[in-house]
Structure 1
Amino acid sequence: MTKLSVNINKIATLRNARGGNVPNLLQVAKDIQKFGANGITIHPRPDERHITYQDARDLKDIVYTEYNIEGNPQHNFIDLVLECKPDQVTLVPDAIGALTSNAGWDTIKYKEYLTEVVSEFKRNNIRVSIFVDPIEAMIEGAKETGTDRIELYTETFAHQYGLGNLKAIEPFTKCAVLANELGLGINAGHDLSLDNIKFFKDNIPNLLEVSIGHALVSESLYLGFENVVNMYLRKLK
C-alpha cells in the first residue's frame, strides 16, 4: 500500500488568519494520525506565513507515524531539520515569496549543492527525498546526489487529468520506471486529490508515499477529516 502523509500547512494558515490557537495544529496532527494517516508533512517557509519553525519543533513529540519536513535547504531550514530530526526531509527549490511549490530541482545544475545537503542529512540518519519534475534526466541527476528518494511534482498531471487528458500520466510512469531501475524510492505530491489519486497510483510502479494537503483539507470541509483520510487510504490500497 502507498503511504498517505497529510500536509497540514493549510491548518496553520487558518489558525494564523485569526491569531490564537484555533484550530489547534497539534491536536489536528494527533487526530489525523488517529484516523489512519501514515504520516504528517509540513512545509515551513522563511516568512513562516503558515507553519512556523516553532510548530516544527512542537510537532516533533506529536508525530508518531512518519514526520516529513519539506523546504528549501537554506541555512535556517537545515538547522531546523537537524534539530527536529524528522524521519524524512524533502528538498524543494522554493523561491522566497513563492505562493506554493511550482518547480522541481534542476538536479544537474545543482548537483554539487544537493550532494552536500543530502550528505549532511544522511549523516544524521534522516531519509532524503528530492522534489523533481517528471524529466528522466532529472531523475538520473537525483541519483548522482546520493538521495534516497525522489518526489514527483504532480501539478501538470493533475491539471491535465482534470481536462480529461489521461496521457498526461505517461512521463510520470516513465520516470517511475527509471527511478526503480536506479534504486530510488518514489514519493509524489502537489494537486493530488480524491478525483485523481487512484489513477495516479495505479500507473506509478512502487509508489511509496504521497503527500497531500490543500485538496485533502478542502475536501474535509465537506466530508470531515476522518472520512476523507480513510477515503484516500482505500484508494491507495
Structure 2
Amino acid sequence: MRVHHRNLTNLVGCCNEGAHLAILYEFMANGNLKQHLSDRKETSLSWEDRLRIAVGAARGLEYLHKSCKPPIIHRDIKSTNILLNEKFEAKLADFGLSRIYPSEGGTHVSTVVAGTPGYLDPEYNITNRLNEKSDVYSFGVVLLEIITGHPVITEVENEDKHIHISQLVTSMASEGHIEDIVDPCLLGEFEVVSAKKAVEVALKCTCHTSSKRPSMNEVVVELKECLAMELARKTNSRGIGPHLAREINSMNWDSESSLQPR
C-alpha cells in the first residue's frame, strides 16, 4: 500500500472475513502478457506494442529498486505477473514473494529460494543470496519471451531434454540472423537494429553472473532507445543511429504517458 507507480497495479482493498481471504487489485482489461504471447488466435502484438510493454514493466522494476525506501525486490517477475490495462499499458502484479532489500551497506539478502522455474535467477538458486539483479535476470527472460514468442522452456524433439529460452536465443544469435529470433507473427514488421539491441539487452540480463547484468535503470534507457528506433521507422525515418536514439531518449517524457515525447 505504500508504493505507487503507474507501472505497478494499485491495491484496492482486502477481505478478511473468516475463511474468506482476498486481496483486491485494480481491474486490468487485457489480462496478462503471457496470454497475448501464447494465444495465436488473437491479433499479435506489434513490435512497438511489445517494446512499450517492456519499457513499462522495466520502469516498474526500476521504481521498486531505486525509488522505494527501502528498496524492494519483486522476486517473481514473469509474463503472467505483467498485467495490461485497456490501453495495453504494463503493470507489475503479485507482490506475495517480494522482499525488502538493505539499501545501506548490504549487498544481498540471504533467504530461502522462491520464485518460478525458468524465471529464477540461477545464481540466487545456488547461493540463496538475493539482490536486485535477481529481478533483472527474471525480467531478461520475460524480454526474451516478448521478442521471440517462445515459451520459457522448450522440449527438444526426439530427445529427453529441455532447453531454456536464453540458451535457444544465444544459439540463434551466434548465427547472426535476427529474423530467425524475432516472433514470426510480426511478419518482419520491425526495425532490425531495434530488435538486435533488444536481444542484446535480454541476453545481458540473463547472464548467469549477477555482477555482469545491467541495472534496471540501464535497461530502461536501452529499451527506450529500441522504441525510439521503431517509432522512427514508422515515421519513414529509417537508418536512425544510436546517437539520434539517445537524443530522442533524452527528451522530457509527459507525465500522462512515459513513452510519448513532448
TM-score, normalized by the shorter chain, greater than 0.5: no
- Structure ID, larger Rg: 2
Return the TM-score normalized by structure 1. 0.30
Between 1 and 2, higher relative CO (CA 8 Å, sep ≥ 6) is seen in: 1
User: Higher helix proportion, which one?
Assistant: 1
